[in-house]
Structure formats: C-alpha cells, structure tokens
Structure 1
C-alpha cells in the first residue's frame, strides 16, 4: 500500500497537471490591477507613504549630472543622467524592505552609481508600488519606470538590469517576463532559485525540530522564546561562534551538515557560516504579515521532496514532519504572481555574484538557476561567480564593478566572460574555490568576514 507521503505527492502532481492546463488555456499574461492603471498614479497606493529626499547630483567629467525624482504609477523613482550620456540605461532593483509602509528608491550600491555615470550610463531606480516579498510589484514597477524614462529623457539604445537580493529575483523574472526588452542582467546575492529559498528556510526549522525532538510547526507565537531555546540546547548550538564553530553534539553537527548540503554543499568557510546564521534561520520562519504570499511567503514552501543528508545518527528522513505547500496554485503557476517562478529561460546575458557563506539567500540559489538554465539550453547566457565572504550581499566595489564591466563587454562586444563552475561538488568543495573573483585587497584589509576564509 502506498505511504501517506506518496499519496500526497500523487494528489499534488495531479493538481499540478490540472493547473498547468488551466493556465495554458487562460494565457500567461499577468493581470494588472485596473484601479492602479486607470488612476493618474501620482500618489502611492492606499496605506503607503513615500520617502524620496532630493538626491544631490554628482560632478562627472567637470559637469553636473541631471537628477529627476517623482512618482510614476504609484512608485517613487530616481533618474540620473550624466552630461555625456552614452545612450544606455541601467535599471537598479533594490532588495527586500520588510513589511514597512514607506516606499523609497535607492541609488546603485557598491560605488556603482559613480562608476555608471563616469562611463556615461544613465540609471533609474523604482521604489516599487509595494514593499514586502512582492516580486510582481518589482517586475512591473521597474518596467514601468524604464518606459517612463523614454518619455522623461529619451529612448535608450540598451537597457540593463542590476540589483541585489530580492532585486536579483526581480531581474531573473524580468528577463523572462519581457523577452528582448532588457539587454543584460547583473543580479547580486539574488534569489535565482525562487521557491527553493523558502524550502530551505522550512528545511532548517523542520530538521532542527526533528533532531531535537521538539515539534513546533506551524510555528506557534512563542516559537522563538520557547521552542527555539529548547532546540538550541538539545543540539548544543548555544556556545559556537564564527571563530570557534566546532559543535560537540552529534545531532547539532548533523543539523549543520544538513544545512551545508541544502545551501550548496561542502565549500570553504561552511562551518563558520553556519555559526553566523544559525539563530537567524530560526527567526526567518516567524512572520507578522497577512495572508498573501508576499506577506507570508512560507505558505509556498514544501519539504515533501527533500531527502536530508547526512541521515544519521538520527533518521531525519523518517522522523521529520512533512509539509505540503498551502498555496499550491501560487507554487505551480507560471504567471507573474507575487512570488513567481523563474523558469531558467534568460533572454539576455547574465553575470551573477554570490557570497559562499550567505545563508539568508544561500549559494544553492546559483546552483538551482544553473540547473534550470541548462535544462532549457541557455547556459551560454549565464556566468556565475563565487565570492569568499559569509554575509548577505558582502561585495566590494572591485567585485561588483568588475562584474559590471565584464557584462557590458559581453553585451557590446559578444565576448562571454569567465565564471565559476557552481554545480560540480568537487569543484565547489576545493579549498581555493571562489578565489578567482574575490577581491584579495579586501582580505588583506580584513574587511567584513573575509578572514573567516583562508588566504587565496
């Protein structure tokens, strides 16, 4: 007789086939909120306010840039154009802002604002119409602003995308949502594995609960003050630190090793990274949002297909609580939803950067994207680079600027730049993995978490 998990999987797969047929009949064009589009759009949506203080122009080549700021289709924006504009535009996609109600655009990070302007590029950034984990809003607002730029300034020759974290998710989906519109993408620390990020957060908490013998899912209101402390004590996680990451508890080591495998596999700095992120990964499972996927994205997560490794000393695969996605339609839909899929069909060159030790958006996001892209025969369009650092979006101006320059050369001259192999476990586990594109000056200066890794 089939197991209960098998029966659940069959029902899910059947529902997925039915959903795919329904979506195919209905078409895949994203729905727009008619009220949003039919108003003049000069005010934020109800419940939001805007913070967009004046941005001082920069002097580039002896001349001041031109800065324009305003509100377009309910999103605040900044546009900056150098006097010697080369005719190309860079759209900057910001990261996750939480569930705050203040909308604010930002300038490109890692000194890219200065670099872009000195090279003759204009840039533009949207606040998006909503905060939260709402990718749909970011995709639409970024495209709306790119169209608006053509009316404010002129139609650009080429339009690039660059951004961080959730902005990388927006880039990955935008390249598929609008084929041929964008000419290149630079996602950094991006959520390129879409729903697999949510699965990773779920896996961490359910595996920890199974190993500690503390069942607490769905997470109760006192999860962080009651269940989590008991889990941490049972697994011996309370005394470790990035500089002293050794765990003496067998079950604690099993959780660490499961987390390493689920986040990209054995790789340099993995133990120190676990020590940095172990507490945060409990907190990320608790939200105070509403019922939409953008407010409570965990409803899309599942571990029905997860095989945990290592599976001893505790048989986690037999004892872990199995969770199906609450919102199956959102999980399977190919349409532009609040938390959509990235199929792996980029339509322009992509250069991505990712920190090896990041567990907020783990390195496995790059591996998921590489697999999806290869499945669709588009690996030639993607170059990925590993950076030896453990925080989220921990890049230097040299690392980001080099990636940008290489992307531009690729788009304009057709020369595909070098990258790192991300899907070969032996390559990723090598002691010098990530050295090729990591800024060695940052290591020498002891910047951030660089010294948690060996010198290259």
Structure 2
C-alpha cells in the first residue's frame, strides 16, 4: 500500500510523488569498537530513507522523526541529532529515518511514512524485538500522534521540543498577532499583503518594541510590557529568562504571519485550525484586551475537532507506553506551554504515571546538548526495560515554574556558555 493509503497509486512506490524530488546523499557508516555499521538508503512509500544497523545489533530499532522543513519540495531524511546517532549505534540500536512523502506542516505524512519505514525495516533487515520513536519539533507532534495511532507498535517515545499541544501552537501564533494589533490599535487580521513592511513596524513602534534586544535596555512602554506579559503567560507562564526569551523571539513571531493562500491546504496553512474564542488574556491592564481583542473562529472547524489523522491532527494524551519529553524554557517557536497542554491531556486520561517531562534552560528551539539528550534516552531505555520511572520536572505548578532555579536539574552545566544559555543566570 502506498504511503498515502491509495489502493491504486499510479506513482511507483520507489518514486516521489509529483512535484517532489529526493536528496539522499550517501551517509558514511559509523565504526564502533573497530566494526563498521551497515547503512541502507533508498526510497519507499514515496519517501527517502536512511537505515543504520550496528555490527552488533541488539535487535531493537529507533525511529527518528525530523522536524518542519518548510515549503521545500526536496525530500531529505536526516540522522538523529544531539549526538544520539553515535549513542544509539554504540549501544547496539539500529535507527531509521524517513523524509516523509510530503513536506509543509504535514504530520499525517510523518506518521504514515515513519510507520511504513518501520515495517520496511523488518523486510530489509529483520523484525525488531522492540521499536522506539523519538522526534524533534513537528517530529514531536508526529511522535505523540504515532504512539496513539498505533498502540502497542512502539515500546516508548521521546519527543523533544515537540508540538505536544497540537492545535494550541497555532492558537499561540494567532494570539501573538491579534493581541499586538489590539494593543497598538492597528487591526489587521487576516493579515494584508503589506503586513510585514507597513503594519508590523507601526505595531512595534506603538508598543516600544523597536530595537528591543535580549541583552539591551528594556525599550517597551506600558502597552509593550502588557503585551510581553500576555505572551509570557500564553507560552507557559512566568519562568526564568522569560523577558530575554521574548526579546529573542518577537521579531520572528511577527514574521510568521503571512496572507492566506487562495487554495492553501491544511499542511500549507495549519493555522486554519486556530481560534481564540475562549482565550482569556492576562494581564488585562492597562487595556482590557479580553473586551477589545478580535475574536477569531477556526477557519476549518472540521479539522480542529476531528479525531482523524489529518495533516495537523490532535493528540489525545491517551498514553499506553512510557514517554519522556524535553523542552527549552524560552522557546517561543514551539513554546513551553506545549508541555503543559500535553500534561493536561495525559492527566485527563489518568496516565501521568507514563509521562516524564524535563525543562532545559535555553531560549532556542531544540537547543539541547548531547548530554541532555543522551541522559534522557538512557533514562527512557531503563524505564522501558526495568520499569524504573525516571525523575522529571513539574511543568504545571505556577510557583514551581517561576522559581529562579527552575530547569537547573536537567540542564547540562558544561553547555553553560553555548547558544542562548548565557541569557539565563548560572544555576546554583
């Protein structure tokens, strides 16, 4: 069966779908203890793939789900990041990664292509004793939906910087634009063609954001301070480094708003599911935003409320296997609130015993050190193998998350001077 599930697909399985090309350059195999791993590459289910099997394979397979790659029509698989490729192979695990049969924000393609490749692995290499799945960003969305789409197929999961709050991510993007517009008294939703060149500079000037940087002086006026506080609350609440994270991300977030495509698909425009009809914004002073903000209904309510596997599907939180997640505190592309929404979903089903979450003190997106990712993987394997639930962070209790030392427990001190980490005070 083809990756899209069409019984009579006119495109051969080993070819990409129309409009796509494949880029899958040879990957040099790793050498562990003097023995070279085996790398297999090719195309299946209209998607490119890479498989690596160590010389001393332990019979277990890890599926890697890559993140969002934009509108590119080039399909490229990638190896596990953060030093995990080396760790997996050195521990005897095989890994496999699919490009997916489509790009854009197409979680459905990721879920189906990853499962298709896992099945293909059994024919190419051998049936694994166990299967794990891990992914980053949109790949976290794919990971979270995969373990629910195929209960019993994967043994455990490790989403990193993942869109675990599914539609809540696009609600956050909507909030950012309409609240900024409301406070600046510049209504512009749906956004016009000149939004980036004309409207956004006016909004930033009205809020005192022009020139704001993570390490410079606070240029915001009263309206800008209210806007920043609302964004902080909508992205996870007061927490260490929140003001610096806002200054690091606000330009990027404004840049996400583009005019609607005339015939855009859900994968091309995942914000079609976004709404703020029931959102309460805090703080409500000096402007009572809850009375004045534009309220937006989902453009495609059918896609928002369905349980079907769509390009932008829901995650229910009905866990049946251990899940260990990592998230950066100051990430505002996929904000920390994703972990809070996921925990709420899991708690509704009484499955919190199967969820461990960890906060990492950085403001980047998917900014993890090899130690942070590697320790999480080792703990997940130990949990799955021996039933020993590893420690994690409380992501929900407001006072806990706001503590100046929050996130220190699992943050790698050796990475202190890398990336955005200097924006955070040193841990005690």
Q: TM-score, normalised by structure 1?
A: 0.91
Structure 1 segments of 4+ aligned residues over 6 angstroms from their partners: none
* 2:75–2:99 Cα contact (<8 Å) kept: yes
More helix by share: 1
Q: For residue 46 of structure 2, what is the aligned residue in structure 1?
A: 74
Q: For residue 62 of structure 1, what is the aligned residue in structure 2?
A: 34
Once the two structures are TM-superposed, the CA of residue 40 in structure 1 deviates from its matched residue by 3.6
* 1:350–1:381 Cα contact (<8 Å) kept: yes
* 2:327–2:366 Cα contact (<8 Å) kept: yes
Q: For residue 241 of structure 2, what is the aligned residue in structure 1?
A: 269
Q: For residue 177 of structure 2, what is the aligned residue in structure 1?
A: 205
Q: For residue 453 of structure 1, what is the aligned residue in structure 2?
A: 424
Q: Choose from 397, 402, 410 the match for 2:383.
A: 410
Q: For residue 320 of structure 1, what is the aligned residue in structure 2?
A: 293
* 2:319–2:351 Cα contact (<8 Å) kept: yes
Look up the SS of the partner of 1:278 in the other structure.
Answer: helix
Once the two structures are TM-superposed, the CA of residue 35 in structure 1 deviates from its matched residue by 4.1
Once the two structures are TM-superposed, the CA of residue 33 in structure 1 deviates from its matched residue by 3.0
Is residue 343 of structure 1 aligned with residue 322 of structure 2?
A: no
Look up the SS of the partner of 2:114 in the other structure.
Answer: helix
Once the two structures are TM-superposed, the CA of residue 239 in structure 1 deviates from its matched residue by 2.2
What are the within-5 Å matches in structure 2 for residues 22-421 of structure 1?
Answer: 32-36=5-9, 39-244=11-216, 246-286=218-258, 290-421=263-394
Cα distance in 1 for partners of 2:259, 2:344 equals: 30
Look up the SS of the partner of 2:39 in the other structure.
Answer: strand
Q: Deviations over 1:365-387 (max 9, x none)?
A: 00000000000011011100000
* 1:199–1:301 Cα contact (<8 Å) kept: yes
Look up the SS of the partner of 1:170 in the other structure.
Answer: helix
Look up the SS of the partner of 1:243 in the other structure.
Answer: coil
* 1:88–1:122 Cα contact (<8 Å) kept: yes
Q: Deviations over 1:29-73 (max 9, x none)?
A: x9833344x754110000000000000111111111000000001
* 1:388–1:438 Cα contact (<8 Å) kept: yes
User: Quick one: structure 1 residues 209 and 68, their matched pair in 2 at CA, closer, same or farther if it must change by over 3 Å?
Assistant: same
Once the two structures are TM-superposed, the CA of residue 240 in structure 1 deviates from its matched residue by 1.4
* 2:190–2:259 Cα contact (<8 Å) kept: no
Q: Deviations over 1:387-409 (max 9, x none)?
A: 00001000000000000000000
Q: Deviations over 1:217-269 (max 9, x none)?
A: 00111100011000000000012111125244000000000000000000000
Look up the SS of the partner of 2:410 in the other structure.
Answer: coil
Q: Choose from 396, 400, 404 the match for 1:431.
A: 404
* 1:247–1:253 Cα contact (<8 Å) kept: no
* 1:96–1:132 Cα contact (<8 Å) kept: yes
Once the two structures are TM-superposed, the CA of residue 194 in structure 1 deviates from its matched residue by 0.1
Look up the SS of the partner of 1:225 in the other structure.
Answer: helix
Look up the SS of the partner of 1:371 in the other structure.
Answer: helix
Look up the SS of the partner of 2:327 in the other structure.
Answer: strand
* 1:245–1:272 Cα contact (<8 Å) kept: no
Look up the SS of the partner of 1:354 in the other structure.
Answer: strand
Aligned Cα root-mean-square deviation (Å)? 1.2
* 2:132–2:157 Cα contact (<8 Å) kept: yes
Look up the SS of the partner of 1:89 in the other structure.
Answer: strand
Once the two structures are TM-superposed, the CA of residue 346 in structure 1 deviates from its matched residue by 1.9
Q: For residue 415 of structure 2, what is the aligned residue in structure 1?
A: 442
Q: TM-score, normalised by structure 2?
A: 0.97
Structure 2 unaligned segments of length 5 or more: list them. Answer: none
